[in-house]
Chain A
Amino acid sequence: MSKEYDMEFQEKRSVVNMITTTLLFVFYYLYVYAQYQSLDVASGTDISFWAKYILILVPVMIIPKIIIYIVFAIINKIMTGDKITDMEDEMDKLIDLKASRNGSIAFMIGFMLAMVALVSGWRAHSMFIIILGSFMVSGIFGEASMFYYYRKGV
């Protein structure tokens, strides 16, 4: 049956998450940067500005992702007829752990780069931009790892 060569639900979910993460970050970053342009940097509020937008990033990432996941699961159910399941078995847990590890490593590298930027005398907002970028890269890297492990095995 050709189904064996199709993308499985988990693989499709990883691809959807990668696209969602990228789009959300790009739009969020553009929005934040536009806000930053109108900020009076001399007032010394730019650190609290970036800290605030990094905190806001959490719900901004979580809520749309949940909505997109539900829509994706329903569309997948209509297209393939596969039942919607949130079951997580031992292989899912192992893949999730390995993907999280890879994502964490990517974030740590980004965090270290942000520290290097500070030590090198770059402005504080560079550090926050690098940290924001690290969130995006680590999210994408984690999902890409998940896709890889589902496809190639673990």
Chain B
Amino acid sequence: MTEYAMNNTIRKLRFENNEMTQQQLADLVKVTRQTIVAVEKGKYSPSLELAFKIARAFNVPLDEVFSYNEETAEK
């Protein structure tokens, strides 16, 4: 079975940005904290718009926040 996964570095970027809280990031990109938690844990793939907003909040390019991995896994 082929698995597609979006990885992200939000946790690391928050840490590098004065330990920004999930709520602060959520306020910056105008979503709920729950959504930031879900994106950070890889439980939700954000829209392109939200992905850009998150990258802009950290002032980094999009591919520094999100990466796309294709993994093959036997089930």
- B43: contacting residue among A9, A89, A154, CB under 8 A: A154
Chain B residues at the A interface, C-beta cutoff of 8 Å: 30-35, 37-38, 41-44, 46-47, 50
- Interface of A, secondary structure class, is helix
Q: Across the A-B interface, how many residue pairs have beta carbons closer than 8 Å?
A: 40
Kindly name the residue among A10, A85, A152, A153 whose own CB sees the greatest number of chain B CB atoms within 10 A. A153
17 of the cross-chain contacts (CB-CB < 8 Å) are A8-B33, A8-B34, A8-B37, A10-B32, A10-B34, A85-B32, A89-B31, A89-B32, A90-B31, A90-B35, A90-B46, A91-B31, A91-B35, A91-B38, A91-B46, A92-B32, A154-B43
Alpha-carbon distance A150/B38, docked complex (angstroms)? 8
- Interface of B, secondary structure class, is loop
Measured between C-beta atoms, what is the minimum distance from B33 to chain A in Å? 8
Chain A residues at the B interface, C-beta cutoff of 8 Å: 4, 8-10, 85, 87, 89-92, 150, 152-154
Q: Which residues of B contact A4 (CB under 8 A)?
A: 37
